[in-house]
Structure 1
Amino acid sequence: MSSPAFRHCGLTVSDIDRSLEFWHDALGLELVARQSQERGYIETITQEPGAHVHQAHLRFPGSDDFIELLQYVTPRGEPRRPMPRDPGGGHVAVTCADLPTLLARLETAGGRRFADPVALDRGINAGALVVYLRDPDEHIVELVQPPSRVG
């Protein structure tokens, strides 16, 4: 039996076009596919009667890792604002080479930072520059600029 491997992370959004401005246009993920699913398997696997979903599949450049954006046309969900401490919540961590520039682009696209970026002074990521922000639908995104290594 082969080992499990990461495939994708799915995020439910309220407006797929607005979310594409954040995840594709500003963050730079590659748009691989857009599609809509109505009833059929999407209704069965989600157990959402009458499910009608718009989807966008976005790939991190140079990898096989994806973010899947899902906008439920029906049934409509209720917005949530999870905090980092909430069980069932989570965050998407993204490595970047120039955190201040990327953060500015994401804020222009509707992202809202928790606080200013912090240089980590200890732990396995010591020396990295890190910031938490929210996307337009309140998903938490962590930007990590690894420390530069001279050697």
Structure 2
Amino acid sequence: MTPVAPAVSGAMIRDLLLCERKAALDIPGEPSLRDPVSAFTRMLWREGLQRRHPGVCGEDEIELIFASERCTDIYAIIAKRTDWPLSSYGIKSIAKACGFEWEDVDPGGANSIEWYDRFVETGDGALRNRIVAYNRDDVIASQVVRDALEELETTGVIASFRRPAI
């Protein structure tokens, strides 16, 4: 199989992953925490990704995605409203403390970029499957964190929380 150059490159994905904060959907919260033009969207335009990759999506599509009332920055809620006995407030740390385990033994944004670049070079289906599993796990982890925040708001505790080993 001869790999075909994708419309989205590993460099573009790397730029997206280097964003300080990521948006997530369906997090309950008050309007003061909602940012209609999220940090993620501003980063996209600041780095010029849409201009460099106009075939991926247009300005109207970006606005439609991030203008939704359902779009809330999870990090802002975690940082402003909660306190965790963790060294990081990133999605991986919080989701793991809430009982989620990634399928991959070495998950991470930088790793997924390398897997993607290697997949583009080789067409190796195993790498594609690893990327898909990693992305699926990130979506599930976001849901786990969302559910944990909702449980914390509703009951005052997160039943699945596991204090990290020292």
TM-score, normalised by the number of residues in structure 2: 0.25
Larger RCO (CA under 8 A, 6+ residues apart): 2
Whichever structure has more strand as a proportion of its residues is 1
Higher helix share: 2
